[in-house]
Amino acid sequence: MRHKSAPSIPEPIVQLQRELEQFRGSHPHRTRLPESLWQSAVELARQHGLYLVAHPLRLDYVQLKKRLGGVSDLRKKAAKPTFVELVAAHPATMAECVIEFESTLGSKMRIQWKGASPPDWTGLLRAWREAER
């Protein structure tokens, strides 16, 4: 059975790895890393990817991702939907109305009402968001 060989670590990452080892060796365990070392790691992650930097440097992947801005260059998030307001030229009377919402997590809410007075939108949306957490 064939085993994949481990990818070679780029030289800039190896250099930062040495700096981190030197820092960790001269400071007590759990000492926060200096901001300059984090910044170097962020720059390398932009060039080489999160995992390729976080793993050999023994950095917290999630923390590095947050510092990177939450999006790696390899995987861009889809554009978030924007708000669209529809304004009628003339006020219309509605006999019935149905509005559906879908959250980014996939849950859905459907509101159906009859009559002229709409429900309390703010309260409904706030309660729905709280229920999702």
pLDDT tens digits for range 42-52: 999 999 989 99
Burial state string for 77-92 with b = 16 or more CB within 10 A and e = fewer than 16: eeeeeeeeeeeeeeee
Nearest to 51, CA basis, from 5, 3, 6:
6
Confidence check: pLDDT of 104 > 90: no
Averaged pLDDT of the chain = 80
Q: Tell me: the pLDDT tens digits for 28-47?
A: 988 899 999 999 999 999 99
Cα 97 to Cα 81: distance, rounded to the nearest angstrom:
23
Q: What residue ranges do the domains of the chain occupy?
A: 11-68, 78-133
pTM as predicted: 0.48
Cα 54 to Cα 106: distance, rounded to the nearest angstrom:
31
